[in-house]
Amino acid sequence: MKLSEVKNNEEVVITKVLGHGSFRKRINEMGFIKGKTVKVIKSAPFNGPSEYKILNYNISLRKSEAELIEVIPMKEFKQKEEVPFEGVIDRNINQTNSFEKGKEINIALVGNPNCGKTTLYNYISGAKEKVGNYSGVTVDIKKTSFWQNGYKLNFYDLPGTYSLTAYSTEEIYVRKFIYEQIPDIVINVIDASNLERNLFLTTQLIDMDLRVVVALNMFDEVLKQKTKLDHESIARLLGIPFIPTVSSKGKGINALLSKVIEVYEGNDKITRHIHINYGKDLESSISKIRAKIKENKPITDKISSRFMAIKLLEKDKHIIELLSGYTNFDEIKATTEKEIRGIESLENEDSESVITDAKYGFISGALKETMKLKPAPKTRSEKIDQVLTHHLWGFPLFVFMLFIVFFATFKIGAYPMRWIDSGVSALGDLLSKILHDGMFKDLLIDGIISGTGSVLVFLPNILILFFFISLLEGSGYMARAAFIMDKIMHRFGLHGRSFIPLIMGFGCNVPAILATRTLRNKGDRILTMLIIPFMSCSARLPVYILIISAFFKKYQALILIGIYLFGILIAFMTSQILNKTIFRNKETPFVMELPVYRMPTLRNILYHMWDKTHHYLKKIASVILIGVIIIWFLEYFPRETEKSKNYQIQIVQVEIGKNLAESEKDLKIAQLQQEMNADRLTNSYLGRLGKIIEPAMKPLGFDWKMSISLLAGLPAKEIIISTMGVLYQADSDNSINLQNKLKAETFQSGKKAGQKIFNTPSVLAFLIFVLIYFPCIGVIATIKNESGHWGWAFFTVVYTTALAWLAGMVVYQIGMLII
């Protein structure tokens, strides 16, 4: 029967894995091989993917993928002879370096996703890299250096990967780094509570003939499970030192670093070069292919000939490309094809699966000799998932969590927001009294303080939002969110994994686009990149809060959620359109690990929050400040208009007039000054530019000030608020805040003269335009870099802006008919 037919809580044994290509390769490497036991946990909401337990970890598969795995009930399974544990083949190579050792050690950190690799990197380096409990947090190579015991240690944090197969972007990154940079030592970070799956990558590192030190991470969980692991024996067996560590608490790190130096110096007694013995038949085939490869030396100086031979048997396209330039490539190819035919006829199985089976057979045999497992009761994560990913209330709980995030962002953030706002106003008032009237005073108070201060007040909201995002990422719930949402995502042509970058987009679109590298299919990656800009990043949040707080006194949190949900709806509709046209026929399997729940450390959460806060403050001090000064300059000049002298004459006439009381004079003069400022602003360089684009924005209910604010937001969306801070607070009355200014703003001429500019339809149209239109320049540049083509970046600019105009126009016109 098929795995898709098995009921919840039933255990079955795999008899055959069907399918082909990338799905079969990945599913094999993750442990779905003949003879392994699988337990069905449950299905996701909306009859989505199902959760399975294999090799002591949980993984999700869609029904279509589960149908490709044949199984039989446990009671029908007859234990067959396992792949024999052949042990290892020792190589008599002196570990002492033949060259004079330098004082600089290049160390690559390699490990499966969720093994704690980046946490270890952060601890040893003091770095503040993002840490999340799901696949694909590290999407690029990070480097840090420090001195230890007289050596300069250069650490490279490589992307998390399950194997060294040229299957995904991160695997290619890791593999190319290793054979191009040739690190002195590889630290293989392993989740100690899940050795059988993690050691698969270790066997490939051994095949590459690298000097490896294993960081047996999360060792505290092994102790809690009361598992007996003789890590010294397995170290001796593999010729690799195993150092127990708990990277989140810094335990074992010093021992790990000392061992790295000891291995580098050639003084470690355990380290030795070995070959894993894959059995007589495979070893014979490997030897024949190696002999052909070694006839040419250049590439084997960087890449192990044994590793290449094994990869050729696995039909690895990347290795085939690397060898295609060899003079004897035809001989290598012919030998490989002959050996593959022999293996497949002998084993009646695909050669890739035969090698995977051999690796897992070796791992299973090694662990039987060195580890004793106790029957595992239901884990804490499985108990939590009974509630959080339940097929009925899992989705409502997810929506409720999102509501809590936005409600807290809005309500809790309102208090410190008011404090900062008061501080900015007090600073402006103080400088207004101290400084003499003039251009510098106007620039400092009406430009820099008013503009940047209007953005700075929203810092608490950004902090709160990133606190919750960090908490969800670090705990492992993000992977569950992808599990819950896969069915919905799949209906719109998206992969379940796309949900994680999309959620990250609520924080910042740039790292979210980088996170699409975890998607295996190029079409999935580009499609996800194109819809991420519809996820309301934190830069848009201050604009939403400003407008919603000013014009909607009730249901503010619901309106804010509505804006976010509308963005998601636009993203899904766009995805559906693109999937039916540009990205047809790109079906990708949904194979994703569901990591155990872990409480993220306060240190990592604070690091993540500080990183975003620093980025936000840096933007205020650079891009936004420059934008504010430019906007202020365009608004400030020219100082005189054709009507200025008339207004000045009228003001003088009121001052010397005797028919009005002093209070009436002050009121009349204030009115004339306001009219003069309005006239000057309209005829300023900024006003003239606004008048040029105003006709295009009129169908949306926007005046020239709103249009200029949107135009100014192209470099960074926060500049929209700072521009409004300059445009709507140009008079001397600093006690009236920006929100009140917006509510009081009226049309100065035309048929609508005297009417409020900001009414409900125009406010909604403005919010929707901000949500959809041109993402910031950083996003466009990132899309270009990640897609490798300017075309997709240009498409994003045109499509988002045109769609924003159309959506805003429809909302405003319909709103005016209804209201």
Q: pLDDT per residue over 742-764, tens digit each? A: 887 777 666 777 778 888 899 99
Asked whether the beta carbons of 203 and 276 are under 8 A apart, the reply is yes
Beta strands at 274-276 and 142-148: parallel, antiparallel or unpaired: unpaired
Neighbour count for residue 335 (Cβ, 10 Å): 20
Q: What would the 3-class secondary structure string for 552-605 be?
A: CCCCHHHHHHHHHHHHHHHHHHHHHHHHHHCCCCCCCCCCEEECCCCCCCHHHH
Question: Which one, of 507, 562, 561, 555, lies nearest residue 535 by Cα?
Answer: 507
- Report, in this order, helix, strand and coil percent for the chain, each rounded to 5: 60, 10, 30
Q: State the average pLDDT over residues 409-428.
A: 80
Residue 132 pLDDT > 60: no
Q: Can you tell me the mean pLDDT for 312-321? A: 87
In this structure, are residues 361 and 83 in contact, taking their beta carbons and an 8 Å threshold? yes
Q: What is the model's pLDDT at position 99?
A: 40
Q: In 3-state terms, what secondary structure has residue 407? A: helix
Is the predicted pLDDT of residue 381 greater than 80, yes or no?
no
Residue 298 has pLDDT above 70, yes or no: no
Helix intervals (H) in 373-443: 380-388, 394-434, 439-442
- Residue 749 confidence (pLDDT): 67
- How wide is the angle at C-alpha 534 spanned by C-alphas 532 and 539, nearest 5°? 95
Mean pLDDT throughout 698-714?
85
Nearest to 704 by CA among 681, 726, 722, 721: 681
In the chain, what is the greatest distance between 2 CA atoms, to the nearest angstrom? 114
Mean pLDDT of the chain: 81
Overall average pLDDT of the 414-430 stretch? 82
pLDDT at position 215, please?
95
pLDDT of residue 113: 82
The per-residue pLDDT for 326 is 83
Average pLDDT of 723-731? 64
Per mean pLDDT, which range of 33-47, 48-62, 671-685 is the poorest? 671-685
What is the mean pLDDT of the segment spanning 277-292?
A: 89
| Contact between residue 177 and residue 156 where contact means Cβ atoms under 8 Å apart | yes
Fill in the DSSP letter of residue 246.
B
pLDDT of residue 287: 92
Q: What is the mean pLDDT of residues 77-84?
A: 60
Contacts 24+ apart (CB under 8 A), 745-751: 745/705, 747/703, 748/678, 748/682
- Is the separation of the CB atoms in 518 and 139 below 8 Å? yes
> Is the pLDDT assigned to residue 694 strictly greater than 90?
no
CA distance 115 to 671: 67
Q: Is 108 left (phi over 0), alpha (psi -120 to 50) or beta?
A: beta
Q: Which residues contact 248 (CB under 8 A, 6 or more apart)?
A: 116, 119, 123, 601, 604
pLDDT-derived band at 96, boundaries 50, 70, 90 = very low
What contacts 584, CB < 8 A, 6 or more positions away? none
Q: What is the pLDDT of residues 168-225, one digit of tens each?
A: 666 777 888 887 778 899 999 998 888 888 999 999 999 988 899 999 998 888 777 7
Sign of torsion, CA 641 645 646 650?
positive
The identity of residue 640, as a single letter, is E
> Phi first, then psi: what are they for 243, rounded to 5°?
-115, 115
Q: Is the pLDDT of residue 521 over 80?
A: no
Instruction: State how far the Cα of 79 lies from the Cα of 262, in Å rounded to an integer.
Output: 44
Structure tokens at 706: 């709103």
**Which residue would you say has higher pLDDT here, 414 or 353?**
353
User: What share of the chain has pLDDT > 70, as a percent?
Assistant: 86
Return d(Cα 312, Cα 742) in angstroms, integer: 68
List, in order, residues 6 or more apart from 499 with CB less than 8 Å away.
Answer: 481, 482, 485, 486, 489
pLDDT at 131: 47
**Which of left, alpha, beta for 326 (phi over 0: left; psi -120 to 50: alpha)?**
beta
Q: What per-residue confidence (pLDDT) applies to 20?
A: 64
- Judged against a pLDDT cut of 70, whether residue 656 lies above it is answered with yes
Confidence label for 101 from pLDDT (cuts 50, 70 and 90): low
Residue 730 has pLDDT above 50, yes or no: no
Is residue 547 pLDDT above 60, yes or no?
yes
Question: Residue 785 — very low, low, confident or very high, per pLDDT cuts 50/70/90?
Answer: confident
Please tell me the distance from the alpha carbon of residue 360 to that of residue 367, in angstroms, as a whole number. Answer: 10
**In terms of pLDDT, which residue wins out, 457 or 520?**
457
- Which of 480, 438, 443, 667 is CA-nearest to residue 592? 480
